Structure 1
């Protein structure tokens, strides 16, 4: 047992010793590997420092020289030297290839000597930019490229800029003039490459209030160069940020990732390039400024913005090239690496730069051509644009460049503000004209409503002097300041259209108008633009009209965009619209804001651009009124005599054959019965309808009372207004006459108001001339007539229409009765109750509610199924309207109509105008 234990113990010890040996080997190998890795890492770091510093300068640097004398590091320089020699050996034709590259990539002013271009105005259209811009040259020893030692090979050095990269410049002591020369050289090359206006330069210098690049002074008086306040870097960054958002919005919507891609695909330059030159002082920016600068830099290139930072210590995201000055004439760049020293081009001659800047400025002013005319807003070919994705048209010019308004998914609705005389109406005409010239009536439908007293849009419908009309217009409403119901009718129509389009989109399994048009090419789906001038009148009262209009407008503002329905709301001042207090939905959706000079509350609260806007200008803002979205535009005169009508006649001649004239609603003029489509379209009918007045609606319709055999099919006209009362009874009677064959109806007219006698006689003569049986009964004969008609009720073979003028005036006569016999009033009540079932209907005029109640007696109001109230207060009408509260204040030329068989609530109508009434 003892021997076995000793053997076992010996085996264990041998195993442990072997394990210790293996662990020792592993630890040694690990230690050696770590030391080797640390040495390699140290070499790599040293190589990095040497490469960054340059091999020649590294040998002269005491600290680096000490590190290179380390035996472990001695081969770093020799290895780098062999790599460099191998590179140069393979780069025998490198300098010549670089010269060819710069020549091809930096053509014209971008790379040629200044004597060939300085002072000449550029002609480039700005669709694409050179890839490189020359700043100097560099020289290498020819021996490194297989040439005779001592031979110097020189090549051009250039840096990317527009669309390609930002540029960071770091100065050396006493090199400010050199930095200015670099910047001036680059900017002048850019400005001389393109036509004036294709590039805009922004200068900001933290250390100077003025005199930034003084040779560019002439350009600073134009839009080509803008010098920014050194204390307000935030304003410049906000402007760039807003521009990036705006450009990104419409490029992405068009399906492109950048402005360059959009230009390449469309062949059009929609935006100028922008170069922001920021001079710092070597100190860190404030954290907020640094954050905003980095945010701008990250999206700037895609939006056509390039930054040149001078002594601004920061690391920008994206593509950035660097120039680090060594002294007043030399620099190293990220394009050539630290080994190659760049000999910077000499400064451009100051006098020649000043002259060149002046010539470019003069060319820019000449290109702008001074104030533009309305004709400059119009395209060369009409009706060639598609509205599937958006509506886009110029409305003015800023220094010769067109300023566009875009109406689409991103900016679905517009808010326009400007005090009286600020040019708001002129702007609307410029906008309407520019849109209609680009889009056909199949692409764009206009609904135009003007609440103020005037005829701003009246000329867009046919008139006595000009029979043409704007084919895009479907509705033109003017002088509707007292007819708020018409604005409500328009909103209802748009809401119904929105639901119709939404249902069609659902059927085709799409979500917006563009997709619907693609899936249903045979459908008629134009974009609808509703322009409501002085829209605040729609919310002038605290009543049901305001409540309904607010609800409909909010719904349209939220959901209309996807169905291609857009609102343009214009007003002199929106400050007092109580209907929207606490309901900002409408204004939030009006992301397109247009402020005329001195306009208030249209732009954002801190945006005061409209205060300083000159006459005939407008501030166009697609960013909900925030200052960075401002675009100032000079708006041409579109409302001068003959200017817009000339365009309208051209469009009318082109499109009128396929598009009918718009519905014209003029609140200042009552419609004529003879010209009403509701009247002219009448014919023989089993259930005739008595027209009582024009509906206040988008469609050209009239309100009518159907005289069926049902109980209560009588009409009462209420109020003391003689003119309107005569009109209602006249239109009701004449419209009924058109629906009967002569001999099938008898009209009995009775007048108890002497002043109305001529009108009643004239109506009877007209009916007789049309072949109908018609007679006039004196008031004192009314009682006898009523008794005879009651006796004939069951046996009468023809229809009878009793038209009573001033029934209340005959009540004393009707109330007389002989003992044991019914009075004339009793007979009249019988006719009202039993007449409709026996083809007899009463059309009566009572000059007061109380008198009508006296006429009806205790039988209630059921025998009057329809009524038209004139100068009667709404509170008096409640018993004749099912007890509901009636909101009605009498208005000249208007009536309140209610038919209990068709109406849930009374509706405002316009009594037809009797031509004879003008002579009475």
Structure 2
């Protein structure tokens, strides 16, 4: 049994081994077959490769007769036929492509364009011809390379081909300069091996801005200049919402910056590590800024897009555009005489186009008021070598600082800026608030006058001769702060963050950009008082938050004191990223930036980068402030917009307003609560300082000080304004003048009141006590106004008591002051000193004088009459300090009305 079982197992093993041998045989056979097939296919591919390299027409006959190739020979013949049929059309297609992409001088023979002046274009040819090539009998085709807005060029020479490389660059530059309008392209030339003769045939253009030559030692200057231009241009394009000069140009439909080509002729030697690093940085951002670089034998590759040209010999080259297998026949050099003559004609055309110094009308657009201020304000203020230099006011450059000594042209620059802005933006897009602290009338001509009834429709406020009225500058800042809060609330309501979005969400709202120009702004900080403290806080707040709501400050100063005022106020100074320095200005630009020192007269250094040197733009500012220059534009704007916009408010610190010309006086009429108008409030809106005379204790007025003219004016204005609010015989004025020299003026007022039909009594000095007693003890009857001139002069008489009397006239007067307002009796009196007012009031409360106007009285004497608060007041002619307990937190300065001589 055991033997049988063992034999059975052996049989199964042998059977399994036999099956495995069979399977292995099948696998090995298949592998052998696959190997033979692969070797045959490899041999066929090698044969096919040899034939393709040599071409069917030149292949080895043995290869063509090889059995392995018989299956694909027909396919190769078909491919060969199709390829050469297609290849025969390539030159024609390339000729058509170059004709479309490189029109005119970009590809035409020099005889068609050499010496001709280009015309204005926004788009530039993407390709520029350098030579031709041939691939078969179908004829040559042009070879062109990209340049402006498209690519940089890197040229590598072979031995003895330097002259050919220079001719290649010269031909390219001449094609570009002849295609574009004069001044549209600027060329910068640097050659490490040539002190002066860098492309000498183009030197006639070096007398213009078209070509600038740098000697070998000025490589760093050229790199710095290009880097600064890229930074400045990038900032401007980003502010305008574009990613490149090209996209901004296409969006605006006009050229905003010239194209630039920087040519670097090297010799293969290494540069310093810093120079190479700077060159690569420049190359990376140059194309977006409209700069193309051409490098010859440089020790590094450019960053960004670059095309390579490698010279094979003096007449041939290979390019990365066509590939290494196509040799380019370079265009022959243009004769030097013809190049020089053409350069001269281009230079003459550019000089003629620039036309020497530009005038103010050249700053103005062809059509007035066509721009929108939703994103920013942009306007040219001058010219550099014929090209306009713009000022941009927007989110990135929200506020401007302008500096220049007396006579440097600061006022002229302001007029050029205001005029250029007003010409581009309608009053619905731009609101101007103009304030001049110096003694002068720089902006007065922008308001209607006797000789010229026109005004600048964009101006909402014009303040002149306010050097002694710092409070008016503070009032302007308060107004701007209120407007800022109003706009911020609207932005929050519409869930937006800036003016452009607010205008889009609220198209029916009135949201123009506001520009406040404050000349000699340092006067705001002239004293250590509440005006300085409040102005500093408001200015810092507006500077920080104004940009988002379209409120912009332009602060100007003619001396360094104006700039020193900013030390310790970085919130203001740092927000003034737009800096304009007039010749010899100091501290306006960055400390290491001395461009203003060398600036010629009638020029300005415009800098949008906080005064850093790379942001400098020199601009010749045309005459904008002479007689009839600005006024002609103003009249055009006035005729265009005056029917839709009110005249601006003119505040002239050198002139006091006339009561009868004040809107508040004209609006008075009988009925309602009587108001006594005292003077003009120093506010942005035209308002009058007034005292409400209602039936409450303390509704009396005291005028304090020895300034007779102002005291007479205040009481005169109060009486006349009250007279307009009562009907005839409805009110009685009791007028007593105790100052002899004021009698004529008081008598003139009495006659005016009588002429208006009012009851007027004139108690004499010895009758005053009885009059006051009658006011206390008599019936009320009708309202009565007690007008007392020089109360202090009557005190000796009022203090005296007659035998048997318990009370003196002064006691009755105190009772009138205390109880009179509740009985419809109000006292308007003039005391020539605060001490005599105190004597009048006695030990009673000063609350019986609810309102007062101080003239030549020091602030330290007024504290007890101002609820105990410290009063900062230094008397000055033509001004008064006004305080009303019922309405004021602190006293305010007012201007007494002008009382014309009778």
TM-score by length of 2: 0.89
User: Superposition pairs for residues 212-227 of structure 1, below 5 Å?
Assistant: 212-227=198-213
| In structure 1, C-alpha distance between the alignment counterparts of 2:875 and 2:461, rounded to whole Å | 27
**How far did 1:292 drift?**
2.4
For residues 414-437 of structure 1, what are the alpha-carbon distances to aligned partners after superposition, in whole Å with 9 as ceiling and x for unaligned? Answer: 111111111111111111112212
| In structure 2, C-alpha distance between the alignment counterparts of 1:194 and 1:843, rounded to whole Å | 79
1:416 equivalent in alignment to 2:402: yes
**How far did 1:834 drift?**
1.0
| In structure 2, C-alpha distance between the alignment counterparts of 1:894 and 1:592, rounded to whole Å | 37
| Contact persistence 2:121–2:181 (CA under 8 A) | yes
User: Superposition pairs for residues 319-468 of structure 1, below 5 Å?
Assistant: 319-468=305-454
1:656 equivalent in alignment to 2:639: no
**How far did 1:575 drift?**
4.3
| In structure 2, C-alpha distance between the alignment counterparts of 1:671 and 1:576, rounded to whole Å | 30
**How far did 1:592 drift?**
1.6
Aligned to 2:102: 106
Residue 548 and residue 87 in structure 1: after superposition, are their counterparts in 2 closer, same or farther (change >3 A)?
A: farther
Residue 315 and residue 89 in structure 1: after superposition, are their counterparts in 2 closer, same or farther (change >3 A)?
A: farther
Match of 1:122 among 98, 118, 129: 118
Match of 1:203 among 189, 201, 204: 189
SS in 1 for 2:588: coil
Please say which of residues 164-173 and 327-336 is displaced more in the overlay: 327-336
**How far did 1:163 drift?**
1.3
For residues 666-710 of structure 1, what are the alpha-carbon distances to aligned partners after superposition, in whole Å with 9 as ceiling and x for unaligned? Answer: 000011111011111111234211111110000100111111111
Residue 395 and residue 232 in structure 1: after superposition, are their counterparts in 2 closer, same or farther (change >3 A)?
A: same
| Contact persistence 2:735–2:763 (CA under 8 A) | yes
Aligned to 1:313: 299
Aligned to 1:168: 154
For residues 835-879 of structure 1, what are the alpha-carbon distances to aligned partners after superposition, in whole Å with 9 as ceiling and x for unaligned? Answer: 111111111111111111111111131111111111111111111
1:806 equivalent in alignment to 2:790: yes
| In structure 2, C-alpha distance between the alignment counterparts of 1:304 and 1:578, rounded to whole Å | 39
**How far did 1:300 drift?**
1.7
User: Superposition pairs for residues 530-679 of structure 1, below 5 Å?
Assistant: 530-679=516-665
**How far did 1:87 drift?**
6.6
Aligned to 1:60: none
| In structure 1, C-alpha distance between the alignment counterparts of 2:250 and 2:565, rounded to whole Å | 48
For residues 870-905 of structure 1, what are the alpha-carbon distances to aligned partners after superposition, in whole Å with 9 as ceiling and x for unaligned? Answer: 111111111111111111100110011111111110
For residues 752-811 of structure 1, what are the alpha-carbon distances to aligned partners after superposition, in whole Å with 9 as ceiling and x for unaligned? Answer: 21111111111111111110111222223222322222221xx22111111111111111
| In structure 2, C-alpha distance between the alignment counterparts of 1:577 and 1:122, rounded to whole Å | 46
Residue 628 and residue 672 in structure 1: after superposition, are their counterparts in 2 closer, same or farther (change >3 A)?
A: same
Please say which of residues 526-535 and 342-351 is displaced more in the overlay: 342-351
Residue 101 and residue 381 in structure 1: after superposition, are their counterparts in 2 closer, same or farther (change >3 A)?
A: closer
Aligned to 1:514: 500
Aligned to 1:79: none
| Contact persistence 2:563–2:588 (CA under 8 A) | no
1:870 equivalent in alignment to 2:865: no
For residues 186-231 of structure 1, what are the alpha-carbon distances to aligned partners after superposition, in whole Å with 9 as ceiling and x for unaligned? Answer: 1011001111111111122334443322222221111111223533
| In structure 2, C-alpha distance between the alignment counterparts of 1:576 and 1:209, rounded to whole Å | 46
Residue 308 and residue 88 in structure 1: after superposition, are their counterparts in 2 closer, same or farther (change >3 A)?
A: farther
| In structure 2, C-alpha distance between the alignment counterparts of 1:599 and 1:84, rounded to whole Å | 76
User: Superposition pairs for residues 684-695 of structure 1, below 5 Å?
Assistant: 684-695=670-681
| In structure 2, C-alpha distance between the alignment counterparts of 1:265 and 1:514, rounded to whole Å | 18
| In structure 2, C-alpha distance between the alignment counterparts of 1:896 and 1:226, rounded to whole Å | 63
SS in 2 for 1:446: strand
Please say which of residues 98-107 and 560-569 is displaced more in the overlay: 98-107
| Contact persistence 1:550–1:579 (CA under 8 A) | no
| In structure 2, C-alpha distance between the alignment counterparts of 1:867 and 1:280, rounded to whole Å | 83
Residue 238 and residue 89 in structure 1: after superposition, are their counterparts in 2 closer, same or farther (change >3 A)?
A: same
**How far did 1:115 drift?**
2.2
**How far did 1:99 drift?**
3.2
SS in 2 for 1:700: coil
Please say which of residues 201-210 and 687-696 is displaced more in the overlay: 201-210
Please say which of residues 451-460 and 276-285 is displaced more in the overlay: 276-285
Residue 576 and residue 655 in structure 1: after superposition, are their counterparts in 2 closer, same or farther (change >3 A)?
A: closer
SS in 2 for 1:231: helix
| Contact persistence 2:154–2:301 (CA under 8 A) | no
Please say which of residues 540-549 and 596-605 is displaced more in the overlay: 596-605
Please say which of residues 393-402 and 749-758 is displaced more in the overlay: 393-402
**How far did 1:534 drift?**
1.0
Aligned to 2:287: 301
Aligned to 1:769: 755
Residue 791 and residue 398 in structure 1: after superposition, are their counterparts in 2 closer, same or farther (change >3 A)?
A: same
Aligned to 2:66: none
| In structure 2, C-alpha distance between the alignment counterparts of 1:579 and 1:271, rounded to whole Å | 36
| In structure 2, C-alpha distance between the alignment counterparts of 1:479 and 1:83, rounded to whole Å | 91
| In structure 1, C-alpha distance between the alignment counterparts of 2:535 and 2:809, rounded to whole Å | 48
Aligned to 1:757: 743
SS in 2 for 1:777: coil
| In structure 2, C-alpha distance between the alignment counterparts of 1:906 and 1:811, rounded to whole Å | 28
SS in 1 for 2:627: coil
1:912 equivalent in alignment to 2:880: no
| In structure 2, C-alpha distance between the alignment counterparts of 1:494 and 1:705, rounded to whole Å | 27
| In structure 1, C-alpha distance between the alignment counterparts of 2:79 and 2:545, rounded to whole Å | 67
Aligned to 2:62: none
| Contact persistence 1:536–1:574 (CA under 8 A) | no
SS in 1 for 2:227: helix
For residues 39-79 of structure 1, what are the alpha-carbon distances to aligned partners after superposition, in whole Å with 9 as ceiling and x for unaligned? Answer: x9xxxxxx9xxxxxx99xxxxxxxxxxxxxxxxxxxxxxxx
| Contact persistence 2:267–2:298 (CA under 8 A) | yes
Match of 2:91 among 95, 98, 109: 95
SS in 1 for 2:390: strand
| In structure 1, C-alpha distance between the alignment counterparts of 2:239 and 2:567, rounded to whole Å | 33
**How far did 1:252 drift?**
4.3
| In structure 2, C-alpha distance between the alignment counterparts of 1:680 and 1:797, rounded to whole Å | 28
SS in 1 for 2:691: strand
For residues 360-384 of structure 1, what are the alpha-carbon distances to aligned partners after superposition, in whole Å with 9 as ceiling and x for unaligned? Answer: 0100010112222222222222222
1:830 equivalent in alignment to 2:815: yes
SS in 1 for 2:664: helix
Match of 2:874 among 889, 907, 916: 889
| In structure 1, C-alpha distance between the alignment counterparts of 2:216 and 2:816, rounded to whole Å | 91
State the Cα RMSD in Å: 3.1
| Contact persistence 2:231–2:614 (CA under 8 A) | no
SS in 2 for 1:156: strand
Aligned to 1:524: 510
User: Superposition pairs for residues 234-249 of structure 1, below 5 Å?
Assistant: 234-249=220-235
Structure 1: stretches of 5+ with no match in the other structure: 41-46, 48-53, 56-81
1:268 equivalent in alignment to 2:254: yes
Please say which of residues 836-845 and 369-378 is displaced more in the overlay: 369-378
Aligned to 2:70: none
Please say which of residues 85-94 and 663-672 is displaced more in the overlay: 85-94
| In structure 1, C-alpha distance between the alignment counterparts of 2:216 and 2:879, rounded to whole Å | 63
| In structure 1, C-alpha distance between the alignment counterparts of 2:79 and 2:737, rounded to whole Å | 120
| Contact persistence 1:239–1:629 (CA under 8 A) | no
1:784 equivalent in alignment to 2:784: no
Instruction: Kindly tell me the number of residue pairs found equivalent between the two proteins.
Output: 852
Residue 225 and residue 575 in structure 1: after superposition, are their counterparts in 2 closer, same or farther (change >3 A)?
A: farther
